[in-house]
Amino acid sequence: MQKSDLAGNAVTFLHEENYLDEFAEPMVGASSFMTTAGREPVLLSGDWRFALDPFDTGFRQRWFAIERDAIPQPTDWNPYDAEETPIPSSLNLVRPELHHYEGGAWYTRTIKDPRTSHNQRLILRFGAANYCARVFLDGAFVGRHMGGSTPFFFDISELIGPKPAELMVHVENERDPGRVPCHHFDWFNYGGLHRDVALFIVPHEHIRDTFIHYTSAGEIVAEIHTSCAAGQAKVDIPALNLSQVVVIKDGIGTMRLPASPVLWSPDNPRLYEILLTFGDDHIRERIGFRTIEISGEDILLNGKPIFLKGVCVHEDDRDAGRVTSRDDIRRRYRHARTLGANFLRLAHYPHHEWAAEIADEEGLLLWEEIPAYWALDFASPTTLADATNQLSELILRDRNRASVLTWGLANETADTEDRNAFMRALADTGRALDPTRPLSAACLFNQESLRIEDTLASYVDIIGINEYFGWYDNDIADLAQILSNYNLGKPLVISETGCDIVAGDGGPATKKNSEAFGACYYHDQIEVIDRYDVVKGIVPWLLYDFRSERRQNPVQKGWNRKGLIAEDKETVKQAFSVIADFYRRK
C-alpha cells in the first residue's frame, strides 16, 4: 500500500481526498472540434469491459494504470478480466439493478493505431458521454469533457505506439446544481457512453471545420478553418458547375460565390454535394441552400413567411434510453409528417447529429437547444463556461444543416440579474459562431399581468412561451389575454403546450388523463391560438411519452405521459388527430 503524504500512518488511497485534482486538466471542448463530414470512422462500437464505481475507487487505486502484465494482487478490479457492456449504451438500461444509478463507471477496451503513414494524425471522437468523461490511454490521463450531449475530440497521434493500447474512459452522470442541466430536470438522467466512439485518420494538415451557407444576396459562402496557418483549399459543387480556390491565411479562408441553386425547403429538400480539398485532405458535405430571416413578427424561409407546425420530441427510448439510431429518427420524422408538422423542437439538449442530417434530407425544420433549463447556477463562471462550451459544440457540429432554423438558448429560466448576464453571454457566443440564424428561448410570462415581461425576450429573435392552460393553469381565457397583450415585435411561438394522457383511457372528457380529455385540451388550445396572428408557430409537448424519474404519481409511474403517441412509439392517442386536423387546415 502506498504511503500517504498526510502522515506515516495514513494510506493514500483510503485517506487522501484530493485524488481527482490531477484529472481536471486538460479540459477539452469546442476548440478541439474537427469536422467528420464525409470522413470514414473506425468505429469502436461493440463490447467494452465495464465496472461500476460509485465510490471512485478507480481513481483512488489508479485502476487506469493497471498494466496487463502486472496485475496487482489483490486487486479490486481487473480491467482485462471484467464483465462486458455494449457501446453505445445507456448504462441505466443495461442491467435492471442499474436503473436509477447515478455515479461513475469505467469503460475499457484495447485499440490499435490504424494509420498507414507517418503524415497522418489520429483523432479520437466521442459522440457524447453523460456527463463528465475522463479519458486515459495506456495509463496516462488524456483529458476531461463536461456536458452530456455534444461530441468531443482528442488528438492521440503522439500518445499511441505500434503496440495495442488500453483506452479507458470514466464517465459519471451525477446531478449537480452547477451543471447544465442542474440537478433538477424533467427527463431521465441516462448515464454512460450513449453515442458512438470512433477514431478518425486525417492528414497532418487538414480541414478542421467549415461553415457553408447561402445569403439573401444570392451568394454561397464557405468559411474553411484549417489545422495549419496557410495554404490553398478548393471547393467544388459539381451540380452547380462551381469550382473555386480559397486562400487560407491565419488558418481561415472564405469563399463567396454568386449562385442560383434550387433552394432547400420542406417542400423540396434539395441537397448539394460539396467537395472540399486541402492538400491531401478531402471532405464531403451535403448542403441545403436556403435563407432564414426575421422580419418584424414573421419568420421568413427563403423570403416568405412560414408558420411552424411543430412538435417537441425527447431523445428517449423505452428500450435503448438515450441511444438512438437512424431508424428511430426516421420513425420520429414519419410520425411528425403524419401529424402534418414541418418543424420539431429537439428538447432539451443536443440530440444525435443524425437528427439534423436526416431532417435535411426529409425537409423538416428544427429548433436545437442546450439544457440551460430551469434553475442553473447562473452566478457561477464555471456553469457559464460549461453552457457556452455545449452551445459552441452544438453549433460547430450542426451549423451546416439547412434544417436547423434556430438555436434555443434556454428553457423556463427565472428573470434575475445573474440569469440575464449569463444569457447575454450565451447569446453573444451564439451570434459569433453563427450570425445567420435566429436565437430563441422558451421565456416566462408574468402570471399576473399576463404579459411576456421576461428580460430574456430582448436577447433572442424568436420568443417561445411554454403554456399549459387547461392543464397546470386552469383558465384558458388567460392564454387569450397573453396573446392579445403581445406587442414585442418579434415572432412568437408556443414552444410547448400539452397534458398527460394515458393511452387507451376511455374515460370522459371531464376525466383528467383520459384520451377524450386530451383531445378537448387541444381543441381548446387551437381555438384560442388560431385567433391570434401574432402566433407564428405551435409546438405541442410532445411526440412520445418519455421517462422521467420525478414523475411518480400512479398514472405516470416514472413517465411523462404528454406524448401524442405512447412510449411504445406506436399507440397513437386521440389528441394526435386533433392537431393533425389543425395542421391540415393551417
Which residues make up the interface to ligand GCB (CB under 6 A)? Answer: 186, 348, 411-412, 466, 496, 541, 560, 562
Q: Which residue is nearest to ligand GCB (CB)?
A: 186
> CA Rg, the chain, in Å?
25
- Cβ contacts of 449 within 8 Å, gap of 6 or more: 485
Instruction: Please state, in angstroms and rounded to a whole number, the distance separating the CA atoms of residues 181 and 374.
Output: 8
**236 vs 549 by CB, closer to ligand GCB:** 549
**199 vs 313 by CB, closer to ligand GCB:** 313
What counts of helices (H) and strands (E) characterise the chain? 10, 30
CB of residue 137 vs ligand GCB: minimum separation in angstroms?
38
**36 vs 497 by CB, closer to ligand GCB:** 497
**206 vs 562 by CB, closer to ligand GCB:** 562
CB of residue 412 vs ligand GCB: minimum separation in angstroms?
5
CB of residue 505 vs ligand GCB: minimum separation in angstroms?
17
CB of residue 27 vs ligand GCB: minimum separation in angstroms?
28
What is the separation of C-alpha 235 from the centre of its chain, rounded to a whole number of angstroms?
Answer: 29
CB of residue 493 vs ligand GCB: minimum separation in angstroms?
13
Q: Among residues 349, 353, 356, 352, which one has the least CA distance to residue 409?
A: 349
- At residue 491, φ and ψ (nearest 5 deg) are -60, 135
**93 vs 539 by CB, closer to ligand GCB:** 539
* Cα atoms found within 13 Å of the Cα of residue 294, Cβ hemisphere only: 20
CB of residue 375 vs ligand GCB: minimum separation in angstroms?
13
Instruction: Please state, in angstroms and rounded to a whole number, the distance separating the CA atoms of residues 447 and 253.
Output: 50
Instruction: Please state, in angstroms and rounded to a whole number, the distance separating the CA atoms of residues 538 and 533.
Output: 12
Q: What angle do CA 406, 408, 412 make, to 5 degrees?
A: 145
> Which residue(s) pair with 49 in the sheet?
84, 108
CB of residue 344 vs ligand GCB: minimum separation in angstroms?
15
CB of residue 413 vs ligand GCB: minimum separation in angstroms?
11
Instruction: Please state, in angstroms and rounded to a whole number, the distance separating the CA atoms of residues 346 and 406.
Output: 11
CB of residue 374 vs ligand GCB: minimum separation in angstroms?
8
**206 vs 573 by CB, closer to ligand GCB:** 573
**494 vs 526 by CB, closer to ligand GCB:** 494
Instruction: Please state, in angstroms and rounded to a whole number, the distance separating the CA atoms of residues 41 and 309.
Output: 36
DSSP 8-state assignment for residue 349: S
Q: Is 13 helix (H, G, I), strand (E, B) or coil?
A: helix
**113 vs 186 by CB, closer to ligand GCB:** 186
Identity of residue 448 = E
**343 vs 541 by CB, closer to ligand GCB:** 541
DSSP 8-state assignment for residue 446: B
CB of residue 473 vs ligand GCB: minimum separation in angstroms?
11
Q: Is 402 helix (H, G, I), strand (E, B) or coil?
A: coil
DSSP 8-state assignment for residue 99: T
CB of residue 489 vs ligand GCB: minimum separation in angstroms?
25
Residue 579 · residue 522 · CB < 8 Å: yes
**134 vs 345 by CB, closer to ligand GCB:** 345
CB of residue 373 vs ligand GCB: minimum separation in angstroms?
7
Question: Cα torsion at 424, 426, 431, 432 (round to 10°)?
Answer: 110
Q: Is the dihedral of CA 176, 177, 182, 184 positive or negative?
A: positive
Q: Among residues 502, 503, 508, which one has the least CA distance to residue 520?
A: 508
Q: Is 16 helix (H, G, I), strand (E, B) or coil?
A: coil
Residue 311 · residue 540 · CB < 8 Å: yes
**160 vs 520 by CB, closer to ligand GCB:** 520
CB of residue 349 vs ligand GCB: minimum separation in angstroms?
11
Residue 301 · residue 308 · CB < 8 Å: no
Q: Is the dihedral of CA 486, 543, 358, 130 positive or negative?
A: positive
Q: Is 557 helix (H, G, I), strand (E, B) or coil?
A: coil
**200 vs 541 by CB, closer to ligand GCB:** 541
**184 vs 284 by CB, closer to ligand GCB:** 184
